[in-house]
Structure formats: C-alpha cells, structure tokens
Amino acid sequence: MATNGRPPLPALAVDGLSLDLARFEAVVRGRALPVLTDTARERIAAARAVIERAASGDAPVYGVNTGFGNLADVRIGREDLETLQERLVLSHAAGTGEPLAEEEVRGMLLLRANTLSRGHSGVRVELVERLLAMLAAGVHPVVPSRGSVGASGDLAPLAHLALPLIGRGEALLGGERLPGAEAMARAGLSPLRLAVREGLGLINGTQAMTALLALAALEARRLVRIADLVGALSTDALRGTDTAFDARIHAVRPHPGQRASAANLARLLAGSAIRESHRQGDVRVQDPYSLRCMPQVHGAVRDVLADVEAKLAVEMNAATDNPLVFAREGETLSGGNFHGAPIAFAADFLAIALAELASISERRTEKLTNQAFSALPPFLVEDAGLNSGFMIAQVTAAALVSENKTLAHPASVDSIPTSADKEDHVSMGMWAALKCRRVAANVRKVLAIELLAAAQGVDLLRPLATSAPLARLHALLRTAVPKWEDDREMAPDIEAAEALLAGPIDPLLAQLG
C-alpha cells in the first residue's frame, strides 16, 4: 500500500548479525525500513529471562542490582531497580556542544537496536521495537556532539539518544525541535518505563563513534573515485603523460588500491586529443609526483578505507555492552567490549589517509595556477594582472589542507582517566570520528577547487579536446559554473562545484573501479 502517494519502503532485517555499510546507508538515508527478525526476538527474550532471574536473586550482578562505574560495590534494593535505570540515563545525559546531524542520530538508533538484537544485553523485545519505531517515524533525539571519551562506550551521546524514549530530552520531528515526550506523542509512540538493566543496555557501547565513522567511510568511498576523476582532468589540463598509469607498472607492486586507481586514470585519459598532441616531442620525461604518483597515493587511501570497512563490518554487528548475557549458559560476564580502541584507531587512520587525498589535490591545483609549470596563462585567466583568476582559490585549498593536518593528529593516542580512575584508559574514539568527518568535508571542498581549476585549464587548451569521459565531467561542471573570463566572486563557484560532487556526479563515479 502506498503512503502519502509513495510506495512503501522495502523492509530491512535487523538481526544483529548481517548489517553492512550498504544496509546501514539504506536505513540512515530513508531508503529502507528496519524490521526486527523473529530469530532476534527469540534471542532477546532468552537473554531477558536471565536478567529477570538475576534481579530476583541475591547475588550482585553489575548493572542489575549494583551502582555503576566506581560505584559498582554499592548494592541497590529490589524496590529501586527500575528507578536505578532511569536515573542512570538522566545522569549520563551530560553532553554539550552542537547537536549531531539527523543522519548521524539515525545511524546511532539503528546501530543500538542492532547490537541489542544480538541477544546479549538482557533488555526487553519491546525496547528494541521502540527504537526501530522511532527510526521509522523520524523521531530523532537531539544528541550533543561532545561528552564521550569512548571508554565505557559513548555514554553521554547514547544517554541523550535514550531520553525521548523515556519521555525526556528533546527530539526533531519533521525538522521541528520538540520536547521528547511531545515528539513521541505526535509520532504515535508512547514513552517506556525502563525495566531492570535497560538503562545500561541503552547507553553502554560504541554506537555514536561507529555511526559517525560509517558515514565518513561512505563519503570516503565517493571521495577516492572523485579524486581519480578530477586528478585525471588535471593531468590532461597540465598536458601530463599517462605512461605512469600503465598496468605493467602496477602489476609489479600489486597493492589493490593502487591497481584500481591506475586503471581508472588510464581509462579516463584514453583517447584524449590533448594527450595525443604532445606525445611526440614532449621534453618532459616525468611529471611531478602529484600527477605521476596518483595511483600510489590515491590507492593507499583506498587500501586504508578497505581496512576501515572491515573494522566497521565487525563493530556494527558486535555486542558492546557490559555485562554481557549468555543465555545458553545462563550467565552474565563482565568485560570490556565497550572500549572504543578499534574504532578510534580506524577513524584516526581514515582521517590521515583522507588528509593526504586533499594534500595531493592541492598540489595539482598549484601546478595548474603556476605558469612556470603549466605553460597556461598565469592563475588560469586571460588578461592576468587586471584579473587575479584562481590565485586565491589555491590559497583556500591550502588553508583547508593545513586544517586537515591539524585534524589528522590522532585522538586515540590520548587518554584521560575517568570515574575515580576506575576507567583509567580511554579511547577518545568519539573525537576521532568527529574529526574524521570534518576532514572528509574539507577534502570535498579541496577537490571542488581542483575541479574548477582543471576545467578552466582544459578550456584554455581549446580547440584540443580531452577524452570522452573527462569531456562529460567538464560539461557537467559547465552546467553549473561558466568558464572564468573576467574576475567575479569565486565562493559561489566553489559552492556549486562542491554541490556537484555531493550528488550529480554519481553517474560518472559509477563507471569507476
């Protein structure tokens, strides 16, 4: 049955075992509806029975009838076990700073529901269903971005995520910021009263940092292809050689990413009349590294991304609570799966790699604007002097690259003990993930500037024509940004090019490896 004139969304099974980046993206971007599987319900119910038995017994079980963190030795009476869970969520909602974006919050909701569906947390099926219902209804809790050190997981962000579920906090619904209880009511959902263990089940884990890193990885997938596409256009505008992209070179150093980028670059430049025009008599034997070493640099970024995606495939389907419930044995075991080190390292490595993607891009822009190398008009503009052309566009790229160098400093090497030194080594994974997303956003801007410069360079070489795929890229840009003739405001051009890289360029990217 259609909804509001649109067909219903396809269902996506949530079972704690099969989530991947493609499925994550489909839910987060509203292209699929998450549905809990019957098998997951059975696992959740079995673990819940273990917790209920523990709550009715006399033995101390962390998070069930004890305090938390350094207060784990404090026993809680049976009459206060539910109050304990609500107060845990309220007290841990201590975040600050600008709120996370709605897609980031949607990622957190999905990942938290998915980890709970593993059946190692001891919550009720009803709680997991309510998280998925919030996703389906577009109830997006307001989650401050700062406050997690990534030790017992992302405690503060996840506590804020849980507030509307219990009728507290704030949430966005249809773009309107509302009290949490009102947002739930408008969506036709009622708040829950947390049962034993459920407060801890909502806030103990790595789902904030993992959601942010998953989104950064999805952006990085596009950026590595954009870099090949734009880098090829720069190579042609600079009358570079395609010899360095010969498959034989890369077969004898067969890193997968390097071979993929080299194949893209060779394919993109094939058939260029610009290349053919200087194949004979070109005095340059070798191009600068920013051209010649694109396969090695772009490819290394691809390989880091592949490793990050492998880490995400594990973490998105991991049980990250403490204690964990093992229903078959009827036991609860305390451990440290909430520690964010694997994700913190992955976010730091990806930020470093993406920063290099921008760094080499800016060098190509510099070559394009530098008449000493390019043999094009100074700063890519006729009547230079009266016109400054792309002079300051390259400066903007340099500023963004410098910012990325600071942001690429690893967060995971830092640790500040918390909770009266009980949590004496922390991951800083949330900050690593926040920085990584900022780096990715800067990379897109730097590549947008390079695209503008490369297209201008190709225009200045007419009547020589570039290759067919690069001509399509050039034509696509020219639908949004005209050739630079006399000086005008550059910022709108950069914004238009960046907007093109954010979506309209996708059909061209789909043709690349």
Start-end of H helices in 163-206: 180-186, 198-203
For the chain, state the CA radius of gyration.
26
Residues 6 or more apart whose CB falls under 8 angstroms from that of 301 comprise 220, 224, 227, 257, 353, 354, 356, 357
**162 half-sphere exposure, CB direction, 13 A CA radius:** 32
Q: Which of 24, 62, 390, 484 is catalytic?
A: 62
The rounded distance, in Å, linking the Cα atoms of 284 and 263 is 23
Q: Burial letters for 43-68: b for 16+ Cβ neighbours within 10 Å, e otherwise?
A: bbebbbebbbebbeeeeebbbbbeeb
The rounded distance, in Å, linking the Cα atoms of 365 and 377 is 14
- DSSP character string of 24-41: HHHHHTTSSEEEE-HHHH
Q: State residue 276 phi and psi, 5-degree precision.
A: -65, -30
62 is catalytic: yes
Start-end of H helices in 341-420: 341-369, 371-374, 391-407
- Crossing angle of helices 125-137 and 102-116, rounded to 10°: 160
Residues 6 or more apart whose CB falls under 8 angstroms from that of 173 comprise 137, 138, 139, 140, 183, 186, 187
Taking Cα atoms as reference points, which of 214, 225, 216, 265 lies closest to residue 244? 265
The rounded distance, in Å, linking the Cα atoms of 386 and 370 is 17
The token duo for 76 is: 């809680």
Bond before 323 cis per omega within 30 degrees: yes
Residues 6 or more apart whose CB falls under 8 angstroms from that of 221 comprise 305
Helix, strand, coil share (%) of the chain residues, nearest 5: 55, 10, 35
Do residues 268 and 229 make contact, with C-beta atoms less than 8 angstroms apart? Answer: yes
The token duo for 227 is: 């870099």
Residues serving a catalytic function are 62
